[in-house]
A = this chain, B = another copy of it.
Amino acid sequence: MARRPHAFTALTAHHDCEFRELLGRVGDKWSLLVIAMLERMPRQRSRFSVLRRSIPGISQRMLTATLRNLERDGLLTREVFAEVPPRVEYELTALGKAFMTPVCALVDWLQANWSAIKTARDSFDRRAPSRRKAS
């Protein structure tokens, strides 16, 4: 197995907590779902209410927080239109669109290997019922 000296340098560096936190968040399912949904919309753009309806199970509060964090990271922009009631639209930035490439590669890998993972889980649970998934 080849070593990969480039990756994980920042991950294991003590001083770069922000990078670790970012790593933790990009794997967050809501962030991924929001980005994926926006990418599917015409012009990678959507209103809050449309996004919310397109993501089953997300709460208003969680969607608001997720969108704010993604905006802060520069992955999407938020635009408020002076209408009554106010219309707010979100749009993927160039950075957000570029981010889809490695994310899709990861998702594709997981989908391709999903049955192997499921088999491993079933086998684990049969061998050690008391050692099932830890929270």
Residues in chain A within 8 A of chain B (CB atoms): 1, 3-4, 6-12, 14, 18-29, 32-33, 36-37, 39-40, 44, 55-56, 64-65, 68-69, 71-74, 95, 97-111, 113-114, 116-121, 123-125, 131-135
A71 and B37 CA atoms in complex are apart in Å by 31
Q: Which residues of B contact A9 (CB under 8 A)?
A: 111
18 contacts between A and B (CB under 8 A): A1-B44, A4-B39, A4-B104, A6-B104, A7-B111, A9-B111, A11-B29, A12-B55, A19-B114, A24-B27, A26-B110, A73-B121, A74-B116, A74-B119, A74-B121, A95-B120, A99-B109, A102-B106
Chain A interface, >50% SS class: helix
Nearest chain B CB to A19 CB, angstrom units: 6
Partner of A29, one of B1, B20, B73, B98: B20
A65 pairs with B27, CB closer than 8 A: no
> Which has the most chain B C-beta neighbours within 10 Å: A37, A72, A103, A110?
A72
A18 pairs with B74, CB closer than 8 A: no
Q: Which residues of B contact A37 (CB under 8 A)?
A: 12
